[in-house]
Chains A and B, each alone.
Chain A
Amino acid sequence: MAERIISMYEAIAEAIAQEMERDPRVFVMGEDVGFYGGIFGATTGLWKKFGDERVRDTPISEMGFVGAAVGAALEGMRPIVEVMFVDFTGACFDQILNHMSKIQYMSGGQLKVPVVLMTAIGGGYNDAAQHSQCLYGLFAHLPGLKIVIPSTPYDAKGLMIQAIRDDNPVMYFFHKGLMGLPWMTIIEATWAPVPEEPYTIPFGVADIKREGKDVTVVAVAMMVHRALEAAQKLEKEGISVEVIDLRTLVPLDREAIINSVKKTHRLLVVDEDYLSYGMSGEIVAIVAENALEYLDAPPKRLAVPDVPIPYSNTLEDFVIPSADRIAEAIKELVS
């Protein structure tokens, strides 16, 4: 039988629908998640299937409804709450920072807060400084949250089901450019085979998206695909690149990173988040602490060079790492 090919947004919506059927405690709320199906399609079809009570359109009040998700979780529900863009988390940050992530700890383990907060990340479509950020590096610095960032429809479904079943708060970041939306630039990888039955992918297990022996490239989300593109190009030049997709930042699969570096002796971290004080720094630091003696060259980072995301095409293309620049950075490492 031919494998079924679906988009990432369909994979996410299917995961949620299957979990909502299995578990009556699961419900969805957020801005335009109902009739509209979510601005990026992550809740497509849910409202029609489950109705107003379990698929709730909210007013524009992130602090209110993210806080309400925390409260509902404390009373035994398993809310999935969508914050339309990660850029909008500034309007509800306190609920994430001081409550969602901490209540379990502060209560000495008495209470659990099984919320899935899903939100859109990434640029590349001229949405500028307040609608193109990644910011997962901030949340990975905050104890108490699990951080999930899928790069393929298959991973998106398995990780979403895992997230919903996890008893801890989970932040689930989907990249707008990977959702497979018809109004975005289509890239092939956004449509891929996804099994119909529910399945889970454990957190904290990186996926080697391509094996190689000369350089380790660590990435998440869109940068996984750009790294793969670069790897393909470099193959012709005889450079063998290993691409590691972390998939979750918390828990972080340190072992996968370190083992790969021990094999390739070279490390490039590619990130669509800001360069400084983010995920890329953490990964390089882990290697500098644990595998320094295996490195044959200084580790390298390629990320957004500490500027807000600009609007104009030429400017935006300049700051977000491209396959060409990734290839250049790899070449520098192996030269």
Chain B
Amino acid sequence: MRKLTFAQALNEALRQEMRRDPTIYVAGEDVGKYGGIFGVTAGLLEEFGEERVRDTPITESAIIGSAVGAAAAGLRPVVEIMFIDFIGVALDQLFNQAAKMKYMFGGKAKLPIVVRTTCGAGMCAAAQHSQSLEAWFMHIPGLKVVAPSTPYDAKGLLISSIRDDNPVFFIEHKMLYGLEGDVPEEPYTIPLGVADIKREGKDVTVVATMAMVHKALEAADELAKEGIEVEVVDPRTLSPLDKETIINSVKKTHRLVVVHEAVKQAGPGAEIAAMVAEEAFDYLDAPIKRVAAPFTPVPFSPVLESAYIPSKDNIISAVREVLGK
């Protein structure tokens, strides 16, 4: 099959959807001529023009706020917040307006907004450009949260997100942009709320998200050499979360490790661990383990940053621990 990078797959999804539906517009800082700082909107300005591909001033609160208004009035905005770290200046519009409007209007308003943003460490961009904050958006009722790990998933999930009538917070891990993978040319959708088993196994369930999916797969490869079969579950959408797939996997393996790049305390792994403890308690043969970043901001120096990001070895140790090996 044809190969595209993660960034190209997203770009193709945007392009195909914009061709299909004239109510879609793109807005954000440097999304026009520059094509997005990470290249995801490259070429859209040339094809769709300034009316539909809007460079904005540095004004995140107004970027999301105006998308709320535009969506309520019938458009389908896809806006870009350059780094998830910048969401602090626009959070009110996301948490109190976009997320709650449909509910406050008694279900009468539909609000088809996609907010695309980048997360993650790995390029020494330090404390204000490297964070993984997905848990916050998962904690706010009214937002769907999407977090793909492969080019194939990225394209299908973005198309689904654009077609969804709810606000979707779409998180792209910046270290994945260059990742290549098979991507069909025609448009396709992947339903929100359906996890993907990226590798089957019977001994331990590892639930991993975004860049950590790949580290979990590497760990699984290594452990397979010793005869340990790890099942890697990629939730793909964090809200709604595909509880069933996770629980079914735990019922099979009886052991759970949750891996993410966000800090551990009150992070995505806490919710997944709690959910499994509540709903699959009787199937667990060992305590649950979480592998996550420590409770610190992201440090700059490469030495410190690599100590901070959860590694393949951390995952391997956690798997061994739940197996008692």
Contact = CB atoms under 8 A, between A and B. Distances in A.
Complex contact flag A–B (Cβ < 8 Å)? yes
Interface of A: 63, 87-91, 93-98, 101-102, 105-106, 128-130, 137-138, 140-141, 143-144, 249-250, 252, 273-274, 276-285, 287-290, 292-293, 295, 297-301, 306-308, 310
Nearest to A87: B96
Contacts of A94: 86, 88-89, 91
Contacts of A282: 265-267, 270, 274
Contacts of B295: 143
A93 B91 contact: yes
B142 A308 contact: yes
A143 B268 contact: no
A130 B104 CA distance: 10
Interface of B: 85-89, 91-96, 99-100, 103-104, 126-128, 135-136, 138-142, 239, 241, 262-263, 265-271, 273-279, 281-282, 284, 286-290, 295-297, 299-300
B297 A90 contact: no
27 contacts: A90-B96, A93-B87, A94-B86, A95-B88, A102-B297, A129-B103, A137-B139, A137-B266, A138-B139, A141-B263, A144-B297, A274-B139, A276-B139, A277-B267, A277-B270, A278-B266, A281-B266, A282-B266, A284-B270, A285-B274, A287-B277, A288-B274, A288-B277, A289-B287, A292-B284, A298-B282, A299-B281
Contacts of A289: 273, 287-290
The 6 closest A-B pairs by CB, nearest first: A94-B88, A90-B92, A298-B281, A284-B274, A285-B273, A288-B277
A144 B295 CA distance: 8
Given A144-B297, A277-B270, 19 more contacts: A63-B89, A90-B95, A93-B91, A95-B88, A98-B127, A102-B127, A105-B127, A106-B126, A129-B103, A137-B266, A141-B266, A144-B296, A252-B265, A276-B138, A276-B271, A277-B268, A280-B274, A288-B284, A293-B287
A273 B93 CA distance: 20
Contact of A288 (B87, B100, B126, B287): B287
A297 B277 CA distance: 10
Nearest to B282: A298
A112 to B, nearest CB: 15
B200 to A, nearest CB: 24
B171 to A, nearest CB: 14
Nearest to B284: A292
A60 B235 CA distance: 41
Contacts of A297: 281
Contacts of B92: 88, 90-91, 93
A98 B128 contact: yes
Contacts of B278: 284, 298-301
